[in-house]
A and B are shown apart, each in its own frame.
Chain A
Amino acid sequence: MNSETSFKRPALLAAVLIVLIALPTIADATGYSALTSLATRILIYGIAAASLNLVLGYGGLVSFGHAAFFGIGGYVVGILYQHYSLEEPLFGFIPGTNQMLITLPAAILISGLAAAAIGALSLRTGGVQFIMITLAFAQMLFFLFVSLKTYGGDDGLIIRRTNELPGLNMRDKHTVYYVCLVITAAFFALLWRIVNSRFGNVLVGLRQSEKRMAAIGLPAYRYRLMAFIISGMGCGLAGALMANFLRFASPDMMHWTKSGELMVMVILGGVGTLFGPLIGAAVFIVLETTLASWTENWQLALGFILLFVVLYTHGGVQALVLRLAHRPENRNRFSESTMRRFKVLERPLRVRKDARRSNGKR
């Protein structure tokens, strides 16, 4: 699996990290200071997309509702901030706060709980129902937050100031960027451990064949649910960061198109690879920004690009680049997966009788 090899290229990784660390300085020096904000957004979406990828790419579960957890993360920050600034406790006993050390864990916890509830229900089915159900539940939460007038309803919640971290000046864009960078790095390190652990092993096994996993004695439901929860928590974390970065939380964060965008990031970068989603997030956001600056009809272009990527590339940008770079192991992986697609189509439901008969006679 190439998830394994992802960290085996420490030199590349170190280089990328150095560039990321130097990025704000470079941005300022070259006069493109907007680059820092762009990079912050990429990191945050990278976390969200990588979380989604845990269920989607590693677990093979197509969730179309992950924006819900992203939005919940954002609202936890927003709601806690509102109660903090109004100085009235939530439900009469939970004091509001603007401390990131509290809001982030709270966001992770609450989105994890939501993921547990939604996952527990939607995982009772599979396949296409799962897609529809996750989408529907996300839409339900969207409507819920639209109707919550106390928290801004349709218009969302403005967070006047980014949450505070002891000893840091969070009003500085660079500081926010570095905080996000540290969190992203920690998150990916954790994810790397998870996907290569025993847990990751059964998760990837389930994606390949649920039948086989049952036959070796694995009860699938609980592992899938756990993956769903972890992934929801990751999206919640990303949403909380996003709310801090934008100083705004709104129902749009959990709109179904946001779920779609997260999926697009995953597929752009490469499904089931550790860093693919981060690359995908970068490609998506740069693409969106560039296209939007050219034409207001950028979604049209995006739609065509998406169609092209889905229909004609297998494995997203990362695989495309690697294939162009002629890495033999990737070429192999490619033709293999393409071949399998054909094999699935050709494989008869049952082995032909005549073939069998000659077999029995032998």
Chain B
Amino acid sequence: MTQPILNVRGLVKRFGGLLATDHVDLTVQPGEIHALIGPNGAGKTTLISQLMGELKPNEGTVELAGQSLDALPTAQRVGLGLARTFQITCLLPDYTVIDNVALAVQVRQGHSFRFWKNVRADHSLRDEASTLLTGTGLEPRANELVANLSHGEQKQLELTIALATQPRLLLLDEPMAGLGHVESQQMIETLRGLKNQVSMLLVEHDMDAVFALADRISVLVYGRVIASGSVDEIRQNPEVRTAYLGEGDELC
């Protein structure tokens, strides 16, 4: 069996009395899109934040391709190939679209203790950033300030920036949330296109998107993984139906 790209064992996170992550085990195989679904407040974002090292878990271990991440700060985890997008977008509002992407490229290229050369005339950054933007719909908006972007464009930019770090595993926190129908379809297409390059952990409420993209699905309820399996297994799972999808026969 191949080594999983992501291996989470016994992860626990408490906020005071609340168990936001309850002994979570999770594996993502290389090349797969693993969807993580669950109702509001299930602890999906909290889980991603722990994988990134932004939040410290109370217990448990996280491995990326066999390497333990537990002692590493966020920055180093990114260096090892982990990247995320934010549910509530988190971008640099005073910078333009291309500045945001170029900065991610810059950080990936190595340390930034360079004090002399003008960064905005640096072709090794600008060219790669442009390449990353081509074909994304953000291309014509490259020189727009991020603060002026629409919500959908910001979501798209979140993804482009994450890709600029050249991740091996992409953690996507509700990339479709708040997008219109057309934008959602574009996002699905984009993610499908990335499938061969990078593994993904996809948190999403939009079940159409999940069923369209996912290879495997895990269901998180009250911080616990109550089911994990292929798309069909999850569709059939009665526990999931009651806990998450609601009583009705119809799926969303």
Contacts and interface: CB of A to CB of B under 8 A. Distances in A.
Contact flag (A, B; Cβ within 8 A):
yes
Interface string B119-161: 1101000000000000000000000010110000000000001
A197 B107 contact: no
Interface string A202-231: 101100110111111111100100100000
A223 B104 contact: no
A361 interface: yes
B2 interface: no
Contacts of B87: 351
Interface string A176-200: 0000000000000000011011111
Contacts of B78: 214-217
B15 to A, nearest CB: 13
B177 interface: yes
Interface size class on chain B is 35 or more
A205 B103 contact: yes
A140 B91 CA distance: 39
Interface stretch (A32-40, A118-126, A237-245, A352-360): A352-360
A212 B92 contact: yes
Interface size class on chain A is 35 or more
B79 A217 contact: yes
A216 B115 contact: no
Nearest to A190: B115
B88 to A, nearest CB: 7
Contacts, number: 124
A217 B116 contact: no
A202 B103 contact: yes
B147 A215 contact: no
Nearest to B83: A215
Given A215-B86, A216-B103, A336-B147, A196 B91 contact: no
Contacts of B252: 360-361
B107 A218 contact: yes
Contact of A360 (B52, B54, B115, B206): B206
B40 A215 contact: no
Nearest to B109: A198
A362 B208 CA distance: 9
A8 to B, nearest CB: 12
B40 A201 contact: no
A171 interface: no
Nearest to B79: A217
B178 A198 contact: no
Interface in A326-362: 336, 340, 347, 351, 353, 356-357, 359-362
Contact of A196 (B74, B76, B118, B206): B118
A306 B163 CA distance: 45
B210 to A, nearest CB: 10
A226 B112 CA distance: 11
A335 B207 CA distance: 39
Nearest to A201: B119
B75 interface: yes
Interface of A: 1, 4, 193-194, 196-202, 204-205, 208-209, 211-220, 223, 226, 336, 340, 347, 351, 353, 356-357, 359-362
Interface of B: 40, 52, 54, 73-76, 78-79, 83-84, 86-88, 90-95, 99, 103-104, 106-108, 112-120, 122, 145, 147-148, 161-162, 164-165, 177-178, 181, 205-207, 252
Given A214-B74, A359-B177, 5 more contacts: A197-B114, A208-B93, A213-B107, A215-B83, A351-B177
List 8 A-B pairs, minimum CB-CB distance, nearest first: A217-B78, A360-B205, A219-B75, A216-B104, A208-B92, A214-B74, A198-B114, A201-B119
